[in-house]
Every structure is written in structure tokens, then in C-alpha cells.
Amino acid sequence: MATESELEKKCRLCAENCGGRLLKIRTPGTRGFHDRLLLLPGYCAFVEFKSPKGTGRKSSMQHHWQRFMEAMAIPAFEVASYGQFAAICRNRR
């Protein structure tokens, strides 16, 4: 199985192949915020990568930010596999 870092690299290439970018988000002082911003033609979403090995657990702040994004109707996803990420790229609306 791939590490979280390897998964992120593979997903970055997927985003680029779809004509977009997967940008690392640096938000000092905003604990638990999503790891990456997915930018595709006509679409953007926040992505939180979790270890594909199943060791990654969501913190209470990550739950908070996910609920915030849902309340604001902003696409935000937790991704633990390449297949999940590829589906987000294919099914964007």
C-alpha cells in the first residue's frame, strides 16, 4: 500500500491530467483545516488526505471544518485512495 505522501503525489498527477491543480494549503493557526485545494476547470474542492493504510483518524478540528464546509455548501472530501480522488475528478459538478 502507498503512504499518504505517495497517494498525494499520484492524486496531484491525476488533477494535472484533468487540466487542473492540486495545491497544498498552508493555514497557520487553523488546526485541522483541509490539506489541499483541488482546482479543476469550473470546479474547486477542499481535500483532506488520510493514510491508505487506515491509520489516519480525523481530529475533532477536522470534524469541525468538515461540518463548516458542509454548512457553507463547499465541496470538501476525505480521501484515502486514488480511486476516491479519481471519482471526485470525474464526477465534479
User: Is 15 within 8 Å of 37 (Cβ atoms)?
Assistant: no
| 93 pLDDT more than 90 | no
pLDDT cut 90: percent of the chain above it: 70
Question: pLDDT-derived band of residue 3, with 50, 70 and 90 as boundaries?
Answer: confident
- Classify burial at 73, counting beta carbons within 10 Å of its beta carbon; exposed 0-12, middle 13-18, buried 19 or more: exposed
3-state secondary structure of 27: coil
pLDDT (tens digit per residue) in 41-78:
999 999 999 876 665 677 899 999 999 999 999 999 99
Question: What is the grid cell recorded at 48?
Answer: 483532506
In CATH, the number for domain 4-90 is 3.40.1350.10
Domain ranges of the chain: 4-90
What is the number of residues in the chain? 93
